[in-house]
Amino acid sequence: ALLDLQGQCKLVILSNVDNASFAGSNARLGVTFDAILTAQDIGSYKPDVRNFHVLLERARAMGVGPEQHLHVAQSLFHDHVPAQSVGLKTVWINRYGAKRAAASRSVADAPTAGATPAAAPVTPHWEFPTLRAFADVLLATST
C-alpha cells in the first residue's frame, strides 16, 4: 500500500522509536518517505502533542497545510486523540475490528496493546480495516 501511495501524496512517518530501529523497519518496507520524524529526533513520545506540532511544522515546510493532512494510524491513544487535538483529520486503520458505540460513533472498548491505556473518547474521521483498503480508496478517488 505504501509503495502505491509513494509519489501520489506526501508520506511522513511520525514514529515512537529511535532512528536505528526505524531504519531497520524502513529497509524492509522499501518506501521512500518525504520525512521521517522519530521520538529520538523530537525528544518526546506520542501521545505528547509536541510530536504533532513538530509534524505540522515539517508538513508546512513541505507546502502541506493542516487542512490537507490526513493522519493515518492504528493507535487511538497514541495517534488519533493527539492528532485531533491539534486539528488534524484522522484515518483509523482498525486492524482488530474494534467496535464503535452506535449512538455516538465514538470508539468504545477498543483493544489496547500491552500497557497502553484506553484512549479518551475519539471519533476518527474515516475507518478502514487495512492500510491497503485505505490506499485503494484514496487512489481511486484521486484519479
- Per-residue model confidence as pLDDT tens digits over 67-111: 999 999 999 999 999 999 999 999 999 998 887 654 344 554 455
Read off the pLDDT of each residue in 4-12 and give the average, rounded to a whole number.
95
Read off the pLDDT of each residue in 5-18 and give the average, rounded to a whole number.
96
Check the CA dihedral 63-66-67-71 and report its sign: positive
**Structural domains of the chain ordered from first start:** 2-141 (3.40.50.1000)
Residue 52 has pLDDT above 90, yes or no: yes
Residue 116 has pLDDT above 90, yes or no: no
Q: What is the DSSP string of 98-125?
A: PPBPTTT-SB-S----TTPPPPPS---S
- Model's pTM, two decimal places? 0.84
